[in-house]
Amino acid sequence: ETGVTQTPRHLVMGMTNKKSLKCEQHLGHNAMYWYKQSAKKPLELMFVYSLEERVENNSVPSRFSPECPNSSHLFLHLHTLQPEDSALYLCASSQERTAGETQYFGPGTRLLVL
């Protein structure tokens, strides 16, 4: 395993629900990332945190709200999602946010929005 865990692994939610995805890294890294993986599309970077501070938000709709309470944990809060938000959501971490640092990915949460 990579040292990055994600829960839940699968999630089905209605468009009016509120749910949260959780990521935890056991690697002592300082940077954490949320990606969206959709079929036949490149991985899309959503959010980047470095030392618990959000440093990048790639024009993600406000129905996605990240939270990083400490350097080991990262959450993605979901509310009033759309069916097109159905995808695999991946969390990753790296030692620093410096370019060229290896990113270690978790197994992802498979989200289905009905």
Phi, psi of 83 (to 5 degrees): -55, -35
Least separation in angstroms between CB 13 and another protein: 20
Please state the closest distance from residue 84 (CB atom) to another protein, in A: 18
* Token code pair at residue 35: 């990606």
Q: 72 or 107, CB closer to another protein?
A: 107
What is the C-alpha to C-alpha distance for residues 25 and 29, in angstroms, rounded to an integer? 7
Which among 95, 90, 94 is positioned nearest to 37, based on CA atoms? 90
Q: How far is the CB of 67 from another protein (least distance, A)?
A: 20
Centre a 10 Å sphere on the Cβ of residue 32 and count the other Cβ atoms it contains. 27
- Separation of alpha carbons 30 and 45, rounded Å: 17
Nearer to another protein, 4 or 81 (CB): 4
CA atoms of 105 and 25, how far apart (whole Å): 9
| Residue number with CB closer to another protein (37 or 80) | 37
| CB-nearer residue toward another protein: 69 or 100 | 100
Residue ranges that bind another protein, judged by CB under 8 A: 2, 4, 31, 40-43, 45, 48, 55-56, 90, 92, 94, 96-108
Task: Give min distance, CB of 80 to another protein, in A.
Answer: 27
